[in-house]
Amino acid sequence: MLDSILGTLGISLSGSGGLLWGSLVIIVGALVGEAVFRWVGLPRIVGYALAGMGVGLAGYGMAAGGLSPSLRVIVDLALGLLLFELGSRVYLRWLRTNPFLLVTSLAESLLTFVAVYLVMRWAGLDGPAAVALAVLAVPTSAAVISRVASEFGAAGQVTERVSMMTALNTLYAVFASKLLLAWLDLDTGQNPVQAIVQPLYVVAGSVLVAGLLGYAVARVARGLDLRNENSTLLLLGLITLALAVTQVLNLSTLLVPLMAGLWLRNTTERPWVWPRHFGTAGGVLVLLLFVIVSTSWSIAALAAGAGLAILAMAVRLAAKAGAVLTLGWFSGQSIRQGLGLSLALTPMSATALVLFADLQVSHAPFAAQIAPIALSAVALMELLGALAVLAALRGAREITPQRGA
């Protein structure tokens, strides 16, 4: 009825819906974020997540229709920026001077995969579904780490190690998910050659685009001071262009920015310094990312999958903690740092959501099968992940007194 009244005046809510609701979400998100930071001392992203949770629980969230393409673009871009920044802070030669880091990384990812797979099978899921959920559980979300660390000025061994291990387990997870897609294709009787070529194409193509992006950024940095606003605009444009190309060529929007950052960091010795999140534009995108990911909260999904999701996440934490704590001593880590690192590895949501969305696009019915558990896990970890990272960094005493206050 409201619609018809407004219709006579020429006002259509559904038409202008996007901008209206979008702006409201931004405002509410920012306000809640500030309130949470000022009064409870938690990272602002918890506030953004609460705003998204509200939207999701009210029924307008992801469970209603999955991750729509327009929202997917925002998620890709925001996560892309964060992955690029993360990659640019990962010095691969450190894996050579401290070999146990690589061992720990492989151990935690493998253990997580195996543990979640076994638990899901025990809970009654069939092979492919268990494998898919296990793959989604492997990565750590670069978004939360990056955001909490920069908001609270974190510095120290836990911050360094979690960045390294996040970059690595994101790489493993993307490879694994491409293999999973190939396997599902073979299962459904697809052309075997295509099923095998597809993941190879994605990886090789992503590496190529990433290399080009990294090279382009390096060229820009030669001539321009990256700390000034105009240059960061250029950088932002380059990354967006790369992501657009990635989408057109059907490559991995996670691999490209991460590998571009890695390429940049590891092919030159000269330090890279640019404003965090590329300045204000990036900051807004990050806010939107957290809100969107949190709209995965839905009563229906929770009802169907919350129990198993909680179980899977608990097992995931145990697996990661187990690997980190037993192997940590060999890589020069203290126990306190080991505990901190285990907690800091728990966020999962943004990366897992993108992998899930890829699954939805190519194998919709299969994705619908695991949707309740996957979305519940994503929703839970979005909220808990930020808190865990903050607890980890505070516990390991890696937060600057001024900004952490």
Partner 1 sequence: MSLETFSTSEPLTLGVELELAIVNRHDYDLSPSSADLLRLMAKRKIPGDVKPEMTDSMIELSTGICRNHADALGQLTEIRDALVDCARRLNVGLSGGGTHPFQDWSERRIFNTPRFHMLSELYGYLSKQFTIFGQHVHVGCPGPDEALVLLHGLSRFIPHFIAMSASSPYVQGTDTGFHSARLNSVFAFPLSGRAPFCTTWDDFGVFFEKMTRTGVVQSMKDFYWDIRPKPEFGTIEVRVLDTPLTIEKAAALAAYIQCVSRWLTVEKPFELAEDDYLVYTFNRFQACRFGPEGTFVDPKTGEHRSLREDILATLARLESHAIELKAEAALDYLRLELERHGNDATWARQVHAREHLLPELVRQQCQRWSGELQID
Rounded CA separation 1/12 (Å): 12
Of 71-79, 84-92, 117-125, 351-359, the window that binds partner 1 (rule: CB under 8 A) is: 84-92
- Nearest distance in Å: CB 145, partner 1: 14
CB of 386 to partner 1, least distance (A): 22
Select the residue interacting with partner 1 from 13, 155, 364, 368 (CB under 8 A): 155
State the nearest-atom distance from the C-beta of 225 to partner 1, in Å: 8
Q: What distances in angstroms separate CA 65 from CA 107, 139, 301, one per listed residue? A: 36, 24, 12
Total residues binding partner 1 (CB under 8 A): 25
The answer to whether 230 and 224 have CB atoms below 8 angstroms apart is: yes
Footprint of partner 1 on residues 178-237 (CB under 8 A)? 225
- Distance in Å, CB of 265 to partner 1, minimum: 8
Closer of 155 and 204 to partner 1 (Cβ): 155
Please report, as residue ranges, which positions from 270 to 289 form the binding site for partner 1 (by CB under 8 A): 270-273
- Determine if 60 is a binding residue for partner 1 (CB under 8 A): no
**C-alpha distances in angstroms, 220 versus 84, 90, 160, 172, 231?**
16, 21, 27, 30, 8
Backbone CA torsion sign across 184, 185, 190, 191: negative
**94 touching partner 1, by CB under 8 A:** yes
Least Å from the CB of residue 332 to partner 1: 5
Instruction: State yes or no: residue 157 binds partner 1 (CB under 8 A).
Output: yes
Selected range binding partner 1 among 2-10, 75-83, 327-335, 384-392, rule: CB under 8 A: 327-335
Encoding tokens for residue 197? 């070529």
| Tokens (6 digits) for 129 | 């579904």
* Given 294, 331, 342, 351, the residue binding partner 1 (CB under 8 A): 331
Distance CA 341, CA 325 (A): 9
C-beta of 116 vs 142, nearer to partner 1: 142
CA neighbor of 366 nearest in space, from 137, 130, 202, 190: 130
Contact between 21 and 70 under an 8 Å Cβ cutoff? The reply is no
CA-nearest of 183, 209, 57 to 129 is: 183
Strand partners, 154: 399
Q: Which residues bind partner 1 (CB under 8 A)?
A: 88-89, 91, 94, 97-98, 153, 155-157, 160, 225, 269-273, 331-332, 334, 337, 398, 400-402
